[in-house]
Structure 1
Amino acid sequence: MLPSRLRLTSNRLQIILQHLRMSGQKAPDAEVLLEKHGCSGLITLNRPKALNALNLNMSRLIYNQLKLWEEDPETFLVIIKGAGGKAFCAGGDIIAITEAGKTGAPLAQDFFKEEYILNNAIGTYKKPYVALIDGITMGGGVGLSVHGHFRVASERTLFAMPETAIGLFPDVGGGYFLPRLPGKIGLFIALTGFRLKGRDVQKAGIATHFVDSQKIPSLEKDLITLKCPSKEDIIDVLNAYHNESSASEDLPFILAECLDKINSLFSGNSVEEIIDNLKQDGSPFANQQLKILSKMSPTSLKITFRQLKNGSSLTLQEVLTMEYRLSQASMSGHDFYEGVRAMLIDKDQNPKWKPEELKEVTDKYLDSCFASLGGRDLIL
């Protein structure tokens, strides 16, 4: 075994070499930029034309760098943001995953597995992690942000988990954070794909802070220039910017008038019960939700309901293991491919779900989706 002094020298050398290698990720066309500024590590998702959609290469680069910064005694803070001004991250690279799934290519397993491993690394990170979700934040972008210590929304933030519309389910730890939102807001968002904008993302409990978009660059600069900051120092800066941001401050939460109905109507013991509640209520709000739910994959609705019900009492690691099983069930099913075709490829907005009715999605089939994969299970 190396003497402690030599081990420290070796570790320090590895960190220096890694920082030197990082210069290769600063090229303007790199998919993710990894930079060190003073005491801060800065991650920039750099696929603006694709709304910074996350692919397998990006997941690997981010994960490896996070682990190095976590052990680096000179890194006190990690910031993640998106390039281009429109999106933080609009989701995973779904079309590439679809093509892989059709042919049985390993990407259909590797992408979900490594994305969820990254989600867990963010959720268990030892150092303050700040996600600047200034723009579209959906699907995979939620996984890159919501499990970290701080999420900063702006008036440009558009948050959604729209997976039931493409035959999937709200993954990336959705089964963990959604049921922990107040009341039934999480289940409502998960089933309907409801979109939250701006300050409402913070009012719903998803973002921790709200900052006017024009002040985000200044916030980033102030965070980066902190000298060996403690978590409290970072909170002080975030709170100061939050308190100075006035956009939409006086407007009520967009779901405020509907909260009682959401909490009562979405409290059913099954998707079918929720549908019955909505039909019996008959209000304009209830009728609108019925119309929305009728367009979603029946299989996805039932999987999502059980996912959130189970996830409410599981750890993040247990949820991600469960969701990996569900991802592989989706890859071997019908609705994911049909949903992606209808919504993202042909864009006819007219998916043909199989089965077409909720009653045809059996408990036996659902049990198979949640069943262990044995040696192929995700281990965290």
Structure 2
Amino acid sequence: MDFDGGDEIRFERLGRAGVVTLTRPQALNAVTHRMVRALDKALSAWERDHGVDVVIVKAEGRAFSAGGDILHIYEAGRAGQPPVEFFADEYRLNARIKRFKKPYVALIDGIVMGGGVGISFHGSQRVMTENAQFAMPEVGIGFFPDVGASHLLPDLGGSFGMYLALTGNRIRHGDALWSGLATHTIKAEDQSGFLDRLCVTGDPETVLRGFFVAAKREIDRPVLEMISRHFAQPSLVDIIASLERAATADEFAAKTLATIRTRSPTSLHVAWRQIGAGLTLSMDECMKMEFRILNRMLAGHDFYEGIRAAIIDKGSKPQWRPASLDAVRAADVDAYFAPLGDRELDL
């Protein structure tokens, strides 16, 4: 079955299931424009196909998907041709997955970040094994948590979504399950049996009852209470001040503050406003907001500087502009959220 995914993404009809496999393990299954377009075609076909009761998305190799193909984005942007259409199609796909009328099961056995989150966590069942790790680390490369993070993260209790957005920290499957990011956890060794049974029945909830193994939360309660206290503050400045007050006596606060101070100041301001705004927006409204931000990020400095430091000159320190949180003006942040006129995202 071919939806023009080439050797980057494979599509199969197995029993009652449409099965999608990401097949770029050497690139940690980084999401490309071709993969986005192919998956969109497959979902269009399978939503109408009465022989398909469930869609399953999985991946080859040790990562589900480590994000988007940021090296390509960097090179295109530096050549004066930022790949706006890639992001437009990706965001449309994210929104389509959210409103997909059939069960959409993401089986995550490895790291999932950025673009990988966009094609997995908006589905009806997000199933993680003990090998899974989740992160939205975009503020560390001068970007922002996109692919629907403004819809996904605000729903997490205890300001946990704001914490993940502003730090970019990784969590494992137990914390993903506790927070509501994952809907189920299973053993890695049970994946084949789970997939076989799901393809036969096409009924994920019934099958998951037989394979679900509850994963323990790893972040202990005192730390969760600190996250809730610090990251529920009414502004980014107040979050930083709260962490600063606690840092002299508390290791968690000191470590978290040190992490945040390495991130792009502009990205932090944008992410804070974005996650707060997403609390009252629909998925489609979130994607339109993110597309506005995206266009400004691609025209700015920090995104390319962040990729340079992380990928091109690995391990070097990014030189953010502005370099400090208090140097980012409110008007500059406002500009990221301003309407695009006739260039608004069409969903």
Matched, 1:65 2:42: yes
Matched, 1:239 2:214: no
CA separation in 1, counterparts of 2:272 and 2:23?
A: 34
Amino acid at match of 1:46: T
User: Percent identity among equivalent residues?
Assistant: 42
Q: Is the 8 A contact 2:47 2:101 kept in 1?
A: yes
**Structure 1 residue 200, shift from structure 2 partner:** 2.2
Amino acid at match of 1:261: M
CA separation in 2, counterparts of 1:151 and 1:169?
A: 23
Matched, 1:49 2:26: yes
Q: Is the 8 A contact 1:89 1:141 kept in 2?
A: yes
**Structure 1 residue 335, shift from structure 2 partner:** 0.3
Matched, 1:254 2:219: yes
**Structure 1 residue 156, shift from structure 2 partner:** 0.4
1:370 aligned partner: 337
Matched, 1:324 2:300: no
**Structure 1 residue 266, shift from structure 2 partner:** 1.0
Matched, 1:190 2:177: no
Which residue, out of 54, 57, 62, partners 1:80?
A: 57
For the pair shown, the structure with the greater C-alpha radius of gyration is 1
Q: Is the 8 A contact 2:174 2:217 kept in 1?
A: no
Amino acid at match of 1:125: F
Task: Report the TM-score, using the length of structure 2 for normalisation.
Answer: 0.96
Query: Aligned residues, how many?
Result: 345
Amino acid at match of 1:184: S
Matched, 1:155 2:120: no
CA separation in 2, counterparts of 1:131 and 1:262?
A: 28
CA separation in 2, counterparts of 1:46 and 1:238?
A: 25
CA separation in 1, counterparts of 2:66 and 2:220?
A: 23
C-alpha root-mean-square deviation of aligned residues, in Å? Answer: 1.4
Q: Is the 8 A contact 2:20 2:55 kept in 1?
A: yes
Matched, 1:98 2:68: no
When structure 1 is superposed on structure 2, of 48-57 and 280-289 the one drifting more is: 280-289
Task: Report the TM-score, using the length of structure 1 for normalisation.
Answer: 0.88
SS at match of 1:295: coil
Q: Is the 8 A contact 2:173 2:182 kept in 1?
A: no
Residues 290-326 of structure 1 show CA distances to partners (whole Å, capped at 9, x for unaligned) of: 1001100000000000000111100000000000111
Amino acid at match of 1:241: F
**Structure 1 residue 255, shift from structure 2 partner:** 4.5
Runs of 4+ in 1 over 6 A off after TM superposition: none
Counterparts of 1:118-133 in structure 2 under 5 Å? 118-133=93-108
Residues 235-279 of structure 1 show CA distances to partners (whole Å, capped at 9, x for unaligned) of: 01112100xx36xx4x44325331111111112222111110011
Residues 157-216 of structure 1 show CA distances to partners (whole Å, capped at 9, x for unaligned) of: 011000000000110000011010112000000000111113222122111000010111
SS at match of 2:83: helix
Which residue, out of 178, 189, 193, partners 1:218?
A: 193
SS at match of 1:317: helix
**Structure 1 residue 103, shift from structure 2 partner:** 2.0
**Structure 1 residue 104, shift from structure 2 partner:** 2.6
1:13 aligned partner: none
Residues 85-138 of structure 1 show CA distances to partners (whole Å, capped at 9, x for unaligned) of: x01111000110111112232x52011101000001100000000000111100
